Amino acid sequence: MTENSVYDNRELSWLKFNRRVLEEAEDRTVPLFERLRFISIFSSNLDEFFMVRVGTLRDTLLLTPNKKDNKTAMTPEKMLDAICDRVRETLPAKDAAYDDIIERLAVRGAHLLKPSELHGEDKAFMKHHFEREIMPLLSPGVIDKNHPFPFLKNRSVYIGVMLRKSDEKKKLGIISAETGKDFPRVIFLPGDEIRFLLVEDVILHYADKLFGSYSLDGRCLFRVTRNADISAEEALFDHDMDFRHVMEELVRKRKKLMPVRAEFSAGAPQEIVNRLLEYFELDKKYAFTQRCPLDFEFISLLGKKLEKSTELFFTALSPQQSAMVNPYESMFTQLSQRDILLSYPYEKFKSFLRLLNEAADDPYVSSIKITLYRVARDSEIVSALIRAAESGKSVLALVELRARFDEENNIDWSKKMEEAGVKIIYGLDHLKVHSKLLLITRKTGNGIKYFTQIGTGNYNENTAKLYTDLTLMTSDKDIGADASLVFNALALGNTVESSNVLLVAPRCLKSRIVEMIDIEIAFGSEGYIGLKLNSLTDRDLIDKLIAASCKGVKIDLIIRGICCLVAGIEGKTENITVTSVVGRFLEHSRIYIFGKGERRKTYISSADFMTRNTERRVEVAAPLKDPAVADRVYGIFNDMLKDNVKARVQCSDGIYRRKHRAPDEPEFEAHKEFYLRAYQAAEQAEKQYKPPKKSLFRRIKEYFAK
């Protein structure tokens, strides 16, 4: 960003977010193993960034090199240069954080060792283990005119060596260090203490034993990251091909796309680096060197060894029973009386599963319709849908096969559901279906009633323990009617043209948001806008927020990741604050608030303010019509603003700095506070909700059943 610019570049803003993730690894108040986990998250985030965003920019550079970013006017080449420079600046901080963690783990009795550090019995054990358990499984290769350069798997670790014989030119040798069922990534040494080696270090150490008569003239570890930017759009026009088959083919294709980054271990010989970059057809700016491991998947094995050392981990917490849910009463009965809001990971996902399971088993339920974007590999949700279909209910599931990196899982589930009788649809041409929407239709003697669930996060039991999300369950007839419109449109391959209460992208979400911003602009300094998002990149909405700020509207933005608006610039954005909270849980819920007091409107949504969400996806935002639910979400939003432990505030130079806390100001960490309240509320609810007394008939029936 340029000085006093109100815009930041999307890619550079994302790198700022990932730097905030790395700050958690540098923070010595965070438990040691959790610091290591944050380095792993930082690294996997960066992997995906290169696969998707850098891959896209490199494609754009080839096709439209003069295309400029609509906020900072940067060309693809300038963005790629800036990205590589920023990443290169950050890696030393990653190395330093890693070194500090490893040193401190050693003090706690967990030692990561290098093969060169072993002596005596330990050295003999390592040599024996390598020769018996690893060496027979390796397939070293030499690159020459008779042995072409092999295909290297995306993000797998390899060993590169320079080979020489007195009468030949030097050759490049490659060994795969890919782990799995054949040999594990971590080798634990015998003894009482936890002492371990990484298998790639051991293979690197003994590489000279693998190339026969060749001598080694340098060696290093490396890995390649490949472009994952594939599109199914053109294939959608081939109406003779099932879209599931199209995605299966594209997933296979992705694994072979061109490299976009090469990583090398510290001290990598320049000759090996140059040779590999030549084979990868990569400029040297895409080569990165680091001291720490090139892949952090090993920490899961280490974590199991350390699990008894509880001080190395965050305090164990478990989702609690929601105080809004009576565990002894039917969900249909409860929702007929009031709306229910669940807040993950603080409250149990099982309360939502109760609704779906009741729907699967209830004889009065005639249909269940749901949009599935990302689901767990052992999904209870899919199991409930299959059970409902097998019992004769009409079940429709829109499975978004284009959910990036979840395509294979979604393909598998779509097949299983289809076999059970679930009607499967795949979405719309050119539009991903990203909404989190469930509609249950129940018919009794009193007529037809809708029960609707709208969420900010995926139908995934596993991520619900790690991501902060909100889910609304309601029997509101207007919300149900709009949800029915959405599913009817999707079933016909259309989008919703207009809706009553739900905001539905791509046609009736952005325009309604603009209308609500305009209303606040009319109120001037009495206006208020509060937005909690993962990302803010939509230029139209950014400009609208700037216009509101110029009219005196107070705007609070809580944005976890990308924010292309720069706050605090005099005359433009001085009435806007941008806060980012990065801590134990991944902030994922989206909240929209417009207005103050009695005219306040509060929504939860699956949509960020990104052009892809507002214009190129099917998204849903739901109004919180129940005052108790709306007040609760408003309170959550304001408590996030109060965080003075994990919150960073964006300054007018675009840099995020820790929120200042006065010496006498008590700490307020939102994630901890929300969990504390969940435990307290669950304890109170346990006293409030009593199991119903059994009737004499039921007790006699149970007695004879024994």
DSSP for 357-424 reads: HHHHH-TTEEEEEEEESS--TT-HHHHHHHHHHHTT-EEEEEE-TTSTT-HHHHHHHHHHHHHHT-EE
Q: Count Cβ atoms below 10 Å from residue 311 Cβ, excluding itself.
A: 9
pLDDT of residue 232: 47
CA distances from 284 to 271, 311, 599 (A): 12, 43, 57
Asked whether residue 486 carries a pLDDT value surpassing 60, the answer given is yes
Query: What percent of the chain clears pLDDT 70, i.e. is strictly above it?
Result: 93
Q: Residue range 235-251: average pLDDT?
A: 51
CA distance 612 to 616: 5
CA geometry: angle 387, 411, 261, nearest 5 deg: 145
CA distances from 326 to 338, 582, 679, 683, 692 (A): 12, 33, 16, 13, 11
Asked whether residue 699 carries a pLDDT value surpassing 80, the answer given is no
Q: Residue range 285-296: average pLDDT?
A: 97
Both tokens of residue 196?
């371990």
Q: Which tops the pLDDT comparison, 689 or 666?
A: 666
Q: Residue range 428-440: average pLDDT?
A: 91
CA distance 432 to 495: 11
Distance from the first to the final alpha carbon of the chain? 74
Which of 366, 591, 592, 621 lies closest to 483, judged by CA?
Answer: 621
Asked whether residue 564 carries a pLDDT value surpassing 90, the answer given is yes
Q: Residue range 183-202: average pLDDT?
A: 94
Query: What's the pLDDT band for 414 if we cut at 50, 70, 90?
Result: confident
Asked whether residue 253 carries a pLDDT value surpassing 60, the answer given is no
Q: Tens digits of per-residue pLDDT, 490-530?
A: 999 999 999 999 999 999 999 999 999 999 999 999 999 99
Query: What percent of the chain clears pLDDT 90, i.e. is strictly above it?
Result: 82
Catalytically active residues, by annotation = 434
Task: Write down the pTM of the prediction.
Answer: 0.92
Query: What's the pLDDT band for 242 if we cut at 50, 70, 90?
Result: low
Which 3 state secondary structure label does DSSP give 532? strand
Query: What's the pLDDT band for 706 if we cut at 50, 70, 90?
Result: very low
Q: Do residues 594 and 410 lie in contact, with contact meaning Cβ atoms separated by under 8 Å?
A: no
Q: Do residues 668 and 645 lie in contact, with contact meaning Cβ atoms separated by under 8 Å?
A: yes
Burial bucket for residue 689 (CB in 10 Å: 0-12, 13-18, 19+): middle
Give residue 20's identity as a one-letter amino acid code. R
Q: Tens digits of per-residue pLDDT, 58-102?
A: 989 988 999 999 999 999 999 999 999 999 999 999 999 999 999
**Would you list the DSSP string of 241-280?**
S-HHHHHHHHHHHHTTPPEEEEEEETT--HHHHHHHHHHH
Q: Residue range 535-540: average pLDDT?
A: 98
> How far from chain centre, in Å, is Cα 31?
22
Query: What's the pLDDT band for 235 if we cut at 50, 70, 90?
Result: very low
Q: Residue range 224-233: average pLDDT?
A: 75
CA geometry: angle 358, 363, 369, nearest 5 deg: 60
Both tokens of residue 40?
């792993």
Both tokens of residue 526?
């009495």
CA distance 289 to 293: 10
Q: Do residues 506 and 615 lie in contact, with contact meaning Cβ atoms separated by under 8 Å?
A: yes
Asked whether residue 402 carries a pLDDT value surpassing 80, the answer given is no
Which 3 state secondary structure label does DSSP give 673? helix
pLDDT of residue 2: 57
Q: Do residues 291 and 266 lie in contact, with contact meaning Cβ atoms separated by under 8 Å?
A: yes
Asked whether residue 148 carries a pLDDT value surpassing 50, the answer given is yes
Both tokens of residue 297?
């998947």
Q: Tens digits of per-residue pLDDT, 326-374?
A: 999 999 999 999 999 999 999 999 999 999 999 999 999 999 999 998 8
pLDDT of residue 407: 78
CA distance 319 to 677: 11
Q: What is the 3-state composition of the chain as percent helix, strand, coil, each rounded to the nearest 5?
A: 40, 25, 35
CA distance 209 to 131: 10
Query: What's the pLDDT band for 10 if we cut at 50, 70, 90?
Result: very high
* Buried-exposed string 499-530: b where 16+ CB fall within 10 A, e elsewhere: bebbbbbbbbbbebbeebbeebbebeeebbbb
Q: Which segment of 96-105, 167-176, 197-206, 236-245 scores lowest on mean pLDDT?
A: 236-245
HSE (CB half, 13 Å, CA atoms) of 327? Answer: 14
Both tokens of residue 248?
């299966």
Instruction: Report whether the peptide linkage leading into residue 506 is cis, meaning its omega lies within 30 degrees of zero.
Output: yes
Which 3 state secondary structure label does DSSP give 607? coil
pLDDT of residue 355: 97
CA geometry: angle 143, 145, 148, nearest 5 deg: 50
pLDDT of residue 236: 43
Give residue 607's identity as a one-letter amino acid code. A
**What does the DSSP 8-state code read for residue 455?**
E
Q: Which segment of 413-422, 548-557, 630-639 scores lowest on mean pLDDT?
A: 413-422
Which of 335, 419, 420, 407 lies closest to 372, judged by CA?
Answer: 407
Q: Count Cβ atoms below 10 Å from residue 208 Cβ, excluding itself.
A: 12
Both tokens of residue 398?
């829109």
pLDDT of residue 246: 57
CA distances from 195 to 36, 125, 190, 265, 302 (A): 17, 13, 8, 22, 10
Q: Do residues 682 and 617 lie in contact, with contact meaning Cβ atoms separated by under 8 Å?
A: no
CA distances from 256 to 147, 150, 152, 217, 230 (A): 19, 12, 9, 30, 11
Asked whether residue 255 carries a pLDDT value surpassing 80, the answer given is no
pLDDT of residue 200: 96
Asked whether residue 254 carries a pLDDT value surpassing 50, the answer given is no
Both tokens of residue 79?
């963005």
Query: What's the pLDDT band for 237 if we cut at 50, 70, 90?
Result: very low
Query: What's the pLDDT band for 3 if we cut at 50, 70, 90?
Result: low
How high does pLDDT run on average in the chain? Answer: 92
CA distance 354 to 253: 40
Asked whether residue 702 carries a pLDDT value surpassing 60, the answer given is no
